[in-house]
Structure 1
Amino acid sequence: MFKKVTIHNDERGLLFRKGNYYKLLQPNVYRFSAFSEDTVVVLNITKPFIVEGKDLQLFMHDEGLLQQLDVVHVLDHEYVLHYEDSKFCGLLTSGSYAFWNVLKKHTYVHIDIRKPELPAEIDAALLPKLAGFYQAFEVANHESGALFYNHVMQKELGPGKYYFWRGPVSVAVKTVDLRQLQIDMTGQEMMTEDKVTLRLNFVCQYKIVSPLRIMAIKSFEEQLYIQLQLILREYVGTLKLDDLLKMKQEIAAFVLSRLQEKSDDYGVLFLSAGLKDIILPGDIKDILNTVLLAEKKAQANLITRREETASARSLLNTAKLMDENQTLYRLKELEFLEKICEKIGTISLTGGGNLLEQLNSLLGDRSR
């Protein structure tokens, strides 16, 4: 009685004698006694060398077997890219692997993941097959980025997409917006020199020119806001309310000049600043409205008196001319008579004499 084992061309056999590996069997037909304790494990050489329940190291003493195997050891800090006949097959993590080298040519790319950035030789077309083993970060066209390994900054990144291995090194990318930005200060309470509390609405535009400097400042926007507050308080606190209202157009220029002195400290370029509103307390607003109304009434009275004086002076000059020139006087009388006649429908004359003599009698005789 015999046990028959057939090994095909795309197969290899592993002979075990009394449970221990004995030797490699090439393609052929083998017969073993039915009472023999020999067993054969047949493996397909198009697949990885894996013997269930057996460690790879049990087969490393067989030189004949090792000639037909590629044995790959992947360290804890490595990934290995596995290619079969120049086609990507898979990614190997830490451990030991064996592949038959009989029908296919295997190549391996060892990658040290302690250097997280993906090497340039890795084709971007492989990335979908590497999902879960890498992470991606994007820096937009209007941004600048900073690369950190284990919370230590490495370098500045321009716009683009960047890929890093997931491994023992923690990777982070922080981005900074390089577009024009704005600080809006709304309803900020401040006190003038004469102890009047008012509220300001102020706006300031700026651009970041040194992204790495920004990264070194904790709560950058908050610190910039506080700096703007301090400059405004410095300006408002040295002026009385009346002076502040007269000089409010100068606030923006003062604040912008002071901010520009701090540009290098904050790594920004301050572009413009402007005062939107000054909001006064209700009682102060009522007082100012009363003062303004009184001033306008005084101006109106002054204009009225000026016009009355000019009118009286004009009448006096006319009277003097008429007194000195009889012809002018008579013309003025005729002018008024004409205005009167425009408002009269009919004129009735009685008595003798012609029309001109009766009109003369109405005007009176200036020769007497």
Structure 2
Amino acid sequence: MKSLFKLWKTVDVADHERALVFRRNRFEKVLPPGRSRIPLFGGPVRVLTHDITQGAFDEAKAKFLVKTYGDLFADHLHSYELSDHQVGLFYRDNHLVDIWPPGSFRAIWKGGGSVRVDIVDITQDYTIDKKLLGLLGRGLAIGKIRTAAYAISYSEVPDEHVGLLTVNGKLEQLLQPGCYGYWKYNRSVTVKLLDLRLHTIEVNGQEILTKDRVSLRINLTGTYRITDPQTVSLKLNDSKAFIYRELQLHLRETVGTQTLDSLLADKDHLNIAIATGIRDKLAQYGIEAVSVGVKDIILPGDMKLILNQVVEAQKESEANLIKRREETQAMRALHNTAKMMDNNPVLLRLKELEALERVSARIDKISVYGGLDSVLNNLVNLRPGK
């Protein structure tokens, strides 16, 4: 009985397993589920067990074994080999679970579930079908399909944006808002997004000399939008940096041709001059300059003090001029009043009564002796000897 055990090896294979038998390191057969007895008198035996529910036959030399011993594996494996221009979509139980790259070989165990492989030729058409893109894009987002990140280029173009599709360094297409997917195998695929909305750019802290050699620090702001995405992509490496430099140069050029007084007197003229100069320049590169405005003109400390003194002197001179003009008008009115009273005794008497009323308003009690005529004659005496 003891020698019997030495002559035979008993192997138990589960329903979800298949066993490969190697004798003297050479493949011999595939064991189905159940108990098998392997004779040992032909040489040492090695048994490798595989779980068919995993789907793929992961033996290191799977391709060699299947091609060499195809008849022995015919009842146990499906084999697939892709060309250099084909991609395989592996479905298990009608669920996409893997993507096979071009030139790959796969062997799939039979009996581990319903399997299907769709072969896609990417020789010319590298665009992924919209229906398939929904599966691949979702699998890429949640990490369900581990090979999706290496297989596809997935892009979403939001509203008010445009996508620039570049294949092998060449601009192929402008993409409108939506979802897009492309096979990355055998080619370089990139999608660059451009924002078509209104943008603001700030050019701050520019130290510039005016025509009369006064140093100013100026802050400028501008708004722009992209109108020709293709031209921007082909001609400009960094559109925002380009716009910044153009605003900076036109600001310096315009300020350098004007004096300080002209700049301070009409800042709108400065805005118009810069906008006019930059609008045609940006239009050549597919960009619309919507508006340009100078926010701040900052004088140096000593120049600010001098300018304040000048303004103060001007305002003081204007105040003195107004004061003298009002005094002159008051004297002229007083002179006219005196002339009228000199020729009109009744008017003079009314003026005397008006003066008496103002004086009386300031006195609590008044005692009158000699009648009202005596009070008026003694209180108001406009002409000598009267």
Same fold (TM over 0.5): yes
Are the aligned partners of 2:133 and 2:181 in contact in 1 as well (CA < 8 Å)? no
Could you say if the C-alpha distance between residues 343 and 146 of structure 1 is closer, same or farther in structure 2, counting changes exceeding 3 Å?
Answer: same
Could you say if the C-alpha distance between residues 28 and 319 of structure 1 is closer, same or farther in structure 2, counting changes exceeding 3 Å?
Answer: closer
1:279 aligns with 2:298: yes
* Correspondence for 1:174: 192
Mapped partners of 1:323, 1:13: distance in 2: 142
Q: What is the percent sequence identity of the aligned residues?
A: 34
Shift of 1:166: 4.7
Bigger Cα displacement from structure 2, 46-55 vs 286-295 = 46-55
Bigger Cα displacement from structure 2, 47-56 vs 312-321 = 47-56
Mapped partners of 1:75, 1:282: distance in 2: 76
Are the aligned partners of 1:204 and 1:274 in contact in 2 as well (CA < 8 Å)? yes
TM-score, with structure 2 as normaliser: 0.76
Shift of 1:337: 2.1
Bigger Cα displacement from structure 2, 358-367 vs 15-24 = 15-24
Are the aligned partners of 1:133 and 1:166 in contact in 2 as well (CA < 8 Å)? no
Bigger Cα displacement from structure 2, 246-255 vs 355-364 = 355-364
Bigger Cα displacement from structure 2, 78-87 vs 5-14 = 5-14
Mapped partners of 2:371, 2:13: distance in 1: 157
Which of 56, 68, 75 does residue 66 from structure 2 map onto? 56
Are the aligned partners of 1:191 and 1:198 in contact in 2 as well (CA < 8 Å)? yes
* Correspondence for 1:91: 99
Q: After superposition, what is the alpha-carbon deviation per residue over 1:142-173, rounded to whole angstroms, capped at 9, x for unaligned?
A: 42221222333222222334334453423322
* Correspondence for 2:287: 268
Q: How does 1:176-255 map to 2 (within 5 A)?
A: 176-216=194-234, 217-255=236-274
TM-score, with structure 1 as normaliser: 0.79
Mapped partners of 2:375, 2:19: distance in 1: 154
1:330 aligns with 2:357: no
Shift of 1:364: 6.4
* Correspondence for 1:143: 161
Mapped partners of 2:261, 2:209: distance in 1: 13
The one-letter code of the counterpart of 2:350 is L
Shift of 1:91: 3.5
> Across the two proteins, how many residue pairs are aligned to each other?
363
**SS of corresponding position for 1:227:** helix
Bigger Cα displacement from structure 2, 307-316 vs 263-272 = 263-272
1:108 aligns with 2:127: no
Which of 140, 143, 146 does residue 131 from structure 1 map onto? 146
**SS of corresponding position for 2:219:** strand
Bigger Cα displacement from structure 2, 252-261 vs 179-188 = 252-261
Could you say if the C-alpha distance between residues 97 and 118 of structure 1 is closer, same or farther in structure 2, counting changes exceeding 3 Å?
Answer: same
**SS of corresponding position for 1:266:** coil
**RMSD over equivalenced CA pairs, Å:** 4.0
Shift of 1:310: 0.6
Which of 101, 107, 128 does residue 118 from structure 1 map onto? 128
Are the aligned partners of 2:206 and 2:219 in contact in 1 as well (CA < 8 Å)? yes
Mapped partners of 1:199, 1:67: distance in 2: 85
The one-letter code of the counterpart of 2:331 is A
Bigger Cα displacement from structure 2, 160-169 vs 145-154 = 160-169
**SS of corresponding position for 1:262:** helix
Are the aligned partners of 2:218 and 2:294 in contact in 1 as well (CA < 8 Å)? yes
Larger CA Rg, structure 1 vs 2: 1
Bigger Cα displacement from structure 2, 194-203 vs 307-316 = 194-203
Mapped partners of 2:344, 2:133: distance in 1: 113
* Correspondence for 2:362: 343
Mapped partners of 1:121, 1:73: distance in 2: 25
